[in-house]
Structure 1
């Protein structure tokens, strides 16, 4: 198995910390920004996201769920996140500037007492003959882990809040293991993971605070005639409660 790393700065660039939000779908203009939100704070209840002080609202969104990409006109925005049951008690409040043609993912991470945003610029470029993906460690209770191809190389070593570079592999079906870093101790076995030609994925390890260690595979984009279709389709493909 050959693994290629892409260390292009735009693919791992973080925006200024401050908040989390939004979403997007296929059909956006190349001049739009596309934004999605992921709820990864394990003890935070369902949330809603206010856009520009209530001009629009997204949610409710429960832990472990994400929205798809939503196209937004470029410009300055204010995003405020609150529990659905207390819509004026904002736990995240940011004012990002969205750039034309840029895809963003916003993750609400950490425990409720320490909730914070992790905002990423996504690279959803499709490459023929390759499947591309990145890996995020967002489990509040898990130690540093290795993501390994079973019987093969280590793809990434990640601590809480770490984000890997984009990785490229040949399309196919893989058995992966999430191991305690530097050991053969498997925290979670990921069997039969199919990565398709030209697809772009995000892999998220999440959980903690009485939520099981889980790994979700999110289809960010698929090749389409003449364009990329932005999806952010999610599925938890493995889950285990840590003892």
Structure 2
């Protein structure tokens, strides 16, 4: 019998890389994707675990990119989807180019929900399948100097909660939202946030630990998981703290130059 089959997006580095490693270690054949050639080198690393590994370099901010990913699956049954691809963008919103914030919106929202809409119907039809979506505790916090990103994660956190409700009755389908806090990945470099307090923080979580939290949650059928005690506390407090206070706190973390303040 063929191994179970998993798709992991944003798998070239960080949380996605670690999720793909866990999938391969757990005998899933995997299809990994990222919007950079580094995904091919990552795929070579995953092959050490003895499963079939495919890699696709595709822009998941576009419908065509998601379609290219799904075409690469060659109509195999998708048992697990880790929708992890995401894009950040630091600095003040008024200083951001339209193309840059559109990439954040289209990667984090459009590409993610289109992928879910294409993959979930088959899972629901057979009442079997697992989906892990990477949201963020940032979705609970008005993100001054990271406003578009936090807004997109607010959408993802809310959307997945709503979709779980719509999927009631499909008990064999697991939809889990992973909500990390700051993680020690290339994210802050790519978002041009290394000169910020949060970007320069040496105590960010290890992506392997975050991926393990998400993996255990989706395999255990959990609805959502905050990764790490500090992140969980942050999420709880965000529900009772005024938005203006949260935005000011976020400004202190994400304003350019705050790392040297």
> Taking structure 2 as the reference length, what is the TM-score of the superposition?
0.28
> Taking structure 1 as the reference length, what is the TM-score of the superposition?
0.29
Q: Which has the higher helix share?
A: 2
Q: Which has the higher strand share?
A: 1
